[in-house]
Amino acid sequence: MTDQPHFQLYIDGAFCEGAGGRVMTSQNPATGEDWASFACADAADVDRAVVAARRALGDPDWRGMSQTQRGKLLYRLAELIERDADELGRIETTDSGKLLAETAGQTRYVGDYYRYYAGLADKIEGAVLPIDKPDMHVFTRREPIGIVAAIVPWNAQMFLTATKLGPALAAGCAVILKAAEVAPAPLLAFARLIHEAGFPPGVVSVITGDAEHCAIPLTRHPDIDRIAFTGGPDTARHVVRNSAENFAVTSLELGGKSPVLVFEDADLDGAANGLIAGNFGASGQSCVAGSRGLVQRTVLKDLIARIMEKAGGIVMGDPLEPSTHVGPLCTAAQIERIEEVLATARGQGAVVHLGGARDPRAGNYMPPTLVECTDPETETLKVEMFGPVMSLLPFDTEEEAIALANDTPFGLGSGVFTQNLARAHRVSARLKAGICWVNTYRAVSPIAPFGGYGKSGYGREAGIDAIHDYTRTKTTWISTSDAPMANPFVMR
C-alpha cells in the first residue's frame, strides 16, 4: 500500500532515516496486515545520538537553562500531549491492538506525570552539612547524571516513557529514548511533540531497531551514564551485562506473576471486578497482571460464578470501536505461547471454564480465559503469558495464602481483597512485592513509586524520589579560614 504512514527516527533535533537505510513494517494486530513502516537505527545512528546528547549537556542552551525553565518546557510538553492524545492513542491502538479508550485515556493522563516532574524541576536541592571540622563550609548539590538510555516496551509505552523521560529531563539530563521494534509508531510520533515543545537539539533523541543494530550498541556505548529499562528478564540480563562496559547506573522494571488474594470476607463483586481488571484489562498485556488469583476455598465457586457472569458481557473486537472491551494481542506469537501453556495446564488437571482457544477471526484475538487450578505447580500459575488468562487456586488459611503468594521468583504487583482492616495491613506487609493494592487493582499515579522485588527488577519509577535517580551528588568543601592550608607533613 502506497498510502501507509512512514515514521522516521528523531536524532539531534531532526527527523531522519537510519544510516544503514533499513526499514521495517508494523502489523495491525486487529487485521494481521501491514499498516506502517518505520526507519531502523544502527550503531552509527546510536553514536550520532550519543554525540548530540553529550554536546547538549555542555551547551548553554540546556546546561545554562534554569531549573524553572526546564520545568516550563515539561509543562509545555504536557499540554501538547493532551492536545494530541486522541491522535497518539489511535496510532498506538493501530500499532499494538490496545483499546483506543485505554491508549487515548492513558496518553492524556501521562500529561500529569510531566506536570508532576515539571513542578519538581526547581526543587532539586542540596544541603549544607554540619561538618565536624573547624573553619569548613561543606555543602552538596545534585547534578544531572548525564546521558540516559531509556528503553521502553510496546505495551504501555507513553506511560513507561513518562516515568523515565519526565524525571530525567527535570534533572537536566539528555535522553536517548529507544522504542521497541514491535509497535514503535507511537513513540516515533511522540518525537514530533518533543520537537514542537522546544527542547534544544540533542536533549532528546527517539530511535528504534533490533537488538544487534540498536539496543546492544546503545546499552554498551561508553558515554551512556544511566540505563532505565522496562521489559523482560531475559533481555534485562543482556542489558546488565552490557552495562559492565560503561558502568552505567541501571534500573530494571521487569515482568511479574502477581498474586491477588481473595478472602472469604471480601466483597466478592468487587473482587471479581478486580480480577477481571487485573487479567482482562489491556487484554492481559500488563506487567502487573493479577494472573494468580488465590481464593479462599469457601468462596471459590461463588467467585467463579460471578466472574463468568461478568465475563459473559465482555465484547471482544475492533480496538478502535468504543463498544469493545477486549482487543487483539499485539503479536501472534503471544497466542501460540498461551495455547502451549494451556495445553500443559490441562494435562496437570486444570479446568478451563471460559475461553481457552484462539478466536478464528482475522487478527491476533484470544478471548478472556478462566482456569481453575488445584495444584500450585500448574503451568498457568507459573508462567507470565501476557494475555487474558486468569488462573484461580484455592487456599484455606491466611498463612497458606501468604506462602502461595510469595512462592514465585517475581515480585512486582499484588492484591488483597478483604473487609478486615487488620488483615489488610497484616497481609500486605508480608507480601514480597513492590506494589500492593487492597480492594482495588492497577491504580497508578505520578505521586506513587512502583517497581519490583526479585526477578521483577530493581529501582523505582514515579514518585518524588525518582528524580534523584537521575542526579549525582557532588560534595564541595570550602575552607573559611584566612590562614593558608597547613603543611600536610607537619603533624599537630
Specify whether the CB–CB gap between 263 and 394 falls below 8 A.
Answer: no
Cell of 405: 503468594
Cell of 346: 490441562
Q: How far apart, in Å, do the first and last CA atoms of the chain sit?
A: 84
Residue 78's CB is within 10 A of a number of other CB atoms, namely 23
Angstrom distance (rounded) from CA 333 to CA 330: 9
Angstrom distance (rounded) from CA 387 to CA 370: 12
Angstrom distance (rounded) from CA 251 to CA 236: 10
Q: Report DSSP state, residue 215.
A: I
Cell of 477: 568543601
Q: Which of 442, 390, 365 shows the shortest CA–CA distance to 97?
A: 365
To the query of whether residue 143 is one of the catalytic residues in this protein, the response is: no
- DSSP three-state, residue 145: coil
- The overall longest dimension of the chain from CA atoms, in Å, is 87
> For residue 137, which phi and psi values (nearest 5 degrees)?
-110, 115
Tell me which of 253, 372, 379, 384 is the catalytic residue. Answer: 253
* Active site residues per annotation: 253
